[in-house]
Structure 1
């Protein structure tokens, strides 16, 4: 049982790292002369590297908010898991922990979908998706899997 719990916690921490990296790193869209993320558009023009702050468009603010909410819900889920681990009765399920993790999963999915649909407004033509965008999509199924594991998991002695 201890190995299972350690594996679940490691999966949860790995997903949290993916969420942090995908939200912070400036690589949602990249090209040879520019890169964009949720916060900045950076480009190199005539050898000068400059970054412009994020657009005030509602859609990019929605993506920013959804990614931050996913991090918050995943951190709360980890905290709730440890609280429930010590307070839950024998045979009880980690429903609250799983629900928070599944909410985080839905937030990431919605944020990535909005970014995918609206990218042409924010990013100059010719840029391709970067690794941070891919990490956001990778964290989606991992959050879903860990949320389902929490819902199925029963506390044993």
Structure 2
């Protein structure tokens, strides 16, 4: 049981790190001397050093992506906190429903954010010489991992430690 708890805790922390990195790092779109993320557009030199950064557009779709990414981080942190609370307060045989619910919500929020960004980013960048950056890919990787950990929380029963 202890190894299972450590495994699910490791998975949850990995999802949390992926969510933080994908929300903060300026690598959602990369190409042609520019990097963009949810918050700013940056011009880079040939060596990769950042030269100028400008605030991102105020489009409604971009604000919804920003909000859902922040919500995914909040829900995942809340799920981790609730997991520790439930670990010490649940009776034997109880399930971690609340923790699983918030972790599944975090997964659905990051999926919504990445899907909206995928569909609408072409309105923001008319230049087609770009590729998706690693932060965008990390957001998509965080989605199934968050859902998986949420489902594991729902299935998991508390036993004696």
TM-score by length of 2: 0.93
1:112 match: 114
Unaligned runs of 5+ in 2: none
Deviation of the 1:125 alpha carbon:
2.3
1:83 match: 85
Q: Cα RMSD over matched residues?
A: 1.6
TM-score by length of 1: 0.96
Is the 2:34–2:42 Cα contact (8 Å) retained in structure 1? yes
**What are the Cα deviations for residues 9-32 of structure 1, in whole angstroms up to 9, with x where unaligned?**
011001100000000000000014
Alignment of 1:1-157 (within 5 A): 1-44=1-44, 49-123=51-125, 124-157=127-160
C-alpha distance in structure 1 between counterparts of 2:99 and 2:129, whole Å = 41
Is the 2:104–2:151 Cα contact (8 Å) retained in structure 1? yes
**What are the Cα deviations for residues 117-137 of structure 1, in whole angstroms up to 9, with x where unaligned?**
011122332111000000000
**What are the Cα deviations for residues 124-153 of structure 1, in whole angstroms up to 9, with x where unaligned?**
321110000000000000000000000000
> Are the structure 2 counterparts of residues 25 and 94 from structure 1 closer, same or farther at C-alpha, using a change threshold of 3 Å?
same
C-alpha distance in structure 1 between counterparts of 2:91 and 2:118, whole Å = 43
> Are the structure 2 counterparts of residues 115 and 91 from structure 1 closer, same or farther at C-alpha, using a change threshold of 3 Å?
same
Q: Secondary structure, in 3 states, of the residue corresponding to 2:35?
A: strand
| Count of residue pairs the alignment pairs up | 157
Unaligned runs of 5+ in 1: none
Deviation of the 1:42 alpha carbon:
1.1
